[in-house]
Amino acid sequence: MVQHGQYPDAYYRVSLKAVIRNDKREVLCVKENGTWWELPGGGIEHGEDVRTALARELQEEIAYAGDFTYKYIDIVTLYDAPNERCMMLV
């Protein structure tokens, strides 16, 4: 059995990004590596649920530890290759 934080033999990475808007409908972005802007987020650890992962990533990326709500909107396939697939859950 794979424990939380360990990687199974068949490795895949699931990541998440948060769309955070203020009352003016402006979207919060973070500057990654000093070169480009992205939505805050990151990888979901093996065995971690979405809410826990999102809370951890918001703490790591923007030092936010408060309450939040989230929802899924759609799943979009960005690309699908023989050894690689990228799908986005928004």
Query: pLDDT tens digits for 25-81?
Result: 999 999 977 788 988 998 888 788 889 999 999 999 999 999 998 887 777 777 777
Q: Does residue 60 lie within any of the structural domains?
A: yes
More confident residue, 90 or 77: 77
- Say what the pLDDT of residue 47 is: 85
Please determine, for residue 10, whether its predicted confidence score (pLDDT) is greater than 60.
no
Domain containing residue 75 = 15-89
* Cβ contact 65:54 at 8 Å: no
Q: Does residue 24 lie within any of the structural domains?
A: yes
Q: Does residue 2 lie within any of the structural domains?
A: no
The 3-state DSSP class for residue 79 equals strand
Please list the helix, strand and coil fractions of the chain in percent, rounded to the nearest 5, in that order.
15, 30, 55
Q: Does residue 19 lie within any of the structural domains?
A: yes
Q: Does residue 25 lie within any of the structural domains?
A: yes
- The secondary structure of residue 43, as a DSSP letter, is E
